[in-house]
Amino acid sequence: MRLWIALYLPRLPLEVFCPNWSADQCSVVIEQEGVLAVSRLAQQMGVRPGMRRSGALMLAPEAQMHERAPQQEQEALHAVALAMLQYTPQVAQGEGAALLLDVGASLRLFGGIRRLCRLVRDNLQKLGFTGVLGVAPTARGAWLLARNGGGRTLKLDSLQRELQCLPVGLLTPLQRHQRWLDGIGCLSIGDLLRLPRPGLQRRCGSEVLEMLDAAQGLVPELHEWLAAPHSFKAKLELFGRIENADLLLAGAIRLLQQMTGWLCAHQFAVVRIRLLLEHERGREACPPTPVEVVLAEATWRDEHIIRLLKERLGKLELVAPVIGLVLEAPEVEPMAPLSDSLFPEPGGSPQDRQRLFEVLVARLGAENVLQAYPKADHRPEVANRWVPLHEKVRPADVTAQLPPRALPRPAFMLPKPIQLLMRDHRPFYGSCLRMVSTAERIEAGWWSETQSRDYFIAEGEDNAYYWVYRERTPGTEETRWYLQGLFA
């Protein structure tokens, strides 16, 4: 099924200066001394497109006047196109501030055209732009629907009926002939199609007929697809000096949307990202503040990364106001295929557990979320150590041949053994301890520090069980007892 989504950005000249997720400011975009676009606040004050600059200043003297920036508009359109690569690899630029997405092969993956359009709108909202969507079996037809305010037509015959009612001024080559068309009563594309083709070609050129034929699906359409760069690095200039790290999340989300599209285009999954917070330049310049996120499990979706960045930015104290953001993906790997298991694992998949651990690390700090690192050694205090969660544990170390256990081990091991007092020739810990097991002798560490101990399971008067040992020191008659662990 051939289906296209045309994405038209009518407020792009304004939203490159004030995205829709920023605070509403009284902003006016000027082109050749005339008002091109206005914000809602400026519109409430009476400023309208088409006014002169002087008239806009009279109505809104505190308004921020911006000269139109075609270069910034093109960069913003490219950023949107890069983000749209997560829905289809075939993205092309249309006329004006428009993008064309060939989504015929993506419908089943994203659950149909309605859900796909909803995802595209949500993505565009996160990027900070306002868009109008047109859906049609041809790219030119979808573009015309989007320029006319949006619409969805899935079949070619329905599209041809829809085109009959569209105003003729939507066709760019006919805008210079608008007065002549109004004079002959040609107001819609249907009226235009009823005119003789040879005469229309002589009067308006062959480009008009080519656009009409392409919109109706009578001729094939050729497009130049967007090619994603080999490496990812996106930058965002903030229109203001941000002093609160929480406010930077919206800008970071915009950059993450671009990264998601880039990852999907290359079939990559990201392992590590770096967000640089750029500060003032010039005499008071200071180096950018880096915010790194290292993932235990590579991912190509942005939801989990957004949660981690939110935790990191929430705890960050800025050394200076931020004027720009730079997002990099220095470490990526090929995207792993989806799991082919028939039934889901109880308690969630390993990927779900890894995401939970990463959120805990971002919230509590890497030094407070540790994993066990067992080691093949008879000495209890050496047999296991705790390392940060991001440190890779080699499978050979985990599956090493552990020493045989003659007696059970306690559930809780003390960080450091506690020397016990002696009462009535028995070790004392809250009460006198009674040995309820035979001795387990552990002798090891001849290569560093020799240890010779006799371990026992002891019971107190409160019926609690303890793991204690008697230190064997040759050449001395003193007996010293230590508490090593507690049984659950």
pLDDT at 399: 47
Report the C-alpha gap between 360 and 307 in whole angstroms: 11
Q: Is residue 435 within a helix (H) or strand (E), and if so which, with residue range?
A: strand 434-435
Of all helices (H) and strands (E), which one includes residue 114? helix 113-127
Average pLDDT of every residue of the chain: 85
Classify residue 249 as exposed, middle or buried by CB count within 10 Å of its CB (0-12, 13-18, 19+). middle
DSSP 375-416: -S-SSHHHHEEEEETTSPPPHHHHTS-PPP-SS---SEEEEE
Per-residue pLDDT band for 350 (boundaries 50, 70, 90) equals: low
* 181 pLDDT more than 80: yes
Which parts of 128-261 are beta strand (E)?
132-136, 151-152, 233-242
Q: How confident is the model at residue 344 (pLDDT cuts 50, 70, 90)?
A: low
How large is the average pLDDT for residues 3-29?
87
Q: Which pLDDT score is estimated for 47? A: 92
Q: Does residue 385 register a pLDDT over 50?
A: yes
* pTM greater than the 0.75 cutoff: no
- Within 8 A by CB and 6+ apart from 326, the residues are 233, 234, 235, 236, 275, 276, 278, 288
> Where are the chain's structural domains?
4-16+69-215, 233-340, 412-486
Give 71-106 pLDDT, tens digit per residue: 999 999 999 999 999 999 999 999 889 999 999 999
CB neighbour class for 53 (10 Å; exposed up to 12, middle 13-18, buried from 19)? middle
Residue 373: which pLDDT band, with cuts at 50, 70 and 90?
Answer: confident
Single-letter amino acid, residue 42? A
Look up residue 218 and give its amino acid: L
**Contact residues for 372 (Cβ-Cβ < 8 A; gap 6+):** 384, 386
- Better-predicted residue by pLDDT, 241 or 52: 52
- Identify the CA nearest to 333 among candidates 309, 299, 292: 299
Average pLDDT over residues 346-366: 70
The SS3 of residue 359 is helix
Residue-level pLDDT at 312? 86
Using the predicted structure, report yes or no on whether residue 380 has a pLDDT greater than 70. Answer: yes
Lowest mean per-residue pLDDT among 158-172, 243-257, 381-395? 381-395
Out of 31-35, 210-214, 256-260, 291-295, which region has the weakest mean confidence (pLDDT)? Answer: 291-295
Which residue's structure tokens are 């941000």? 242
User: Which of 94-98, 273-277, 353-357 bottoms out in mean pLDDT, i.e. has the lowest?
Assistant: 353-357
305-332, pLDDT tens digit by residue? 888 888 888 888 888 889 999 999 999 9
Q: What's the rounded Cα separation, in Å, for the pair 291 and 308? A: 11
Q: What is the mean pLDDT of residues 452-478?
A: 83
Q: Kindly indicate the confidence band of residue 480, based on its pLDDT and cuts at 50, 70 and 90.
A: confident
- CATH number of this structure's domain 233-340, picked from the four choices 3.30.1360.40, 3.30.1490.100, 3.40.50.10800, 3.30.499.10: 3.30.1490.100
- In order of 183, 208, 264, 290, 294, the CA distances from 275 in angstroms are 58, 47, 20, 6, 12
Q: Is the pLDDT of residue 409 over 90?
A: no
* CB atoms closer than 10 angstroms to residue 428: 14
Give the three-state DSSP class for 423: strand
CATH number for region 4-16+69-215: 3.30.70.270
Residue type, 206: S
Confidence category of residue 231, pLDDT binned at 50, 70, 90: very high
Higher pLDDT, 415 or 326: 326
Which single residue is written with the structure tokens 């499978």? 395
Q: How many CA atoms lie within 13 A of 93 on its CB side?
A: 15
Tell me the β-bridge partners of 274.
292, 328
Can you say whether residue 440 is alpha, beta or left, with left for phi > 0 and alpha for psi between -120 and 50 degrees?
beta
Determine the 3-state secondary structure of 418 from DSSP. Answer: strand
Beta-strand runs (E) in 198-342: 233-242, 268-278, 289-299, 322-334
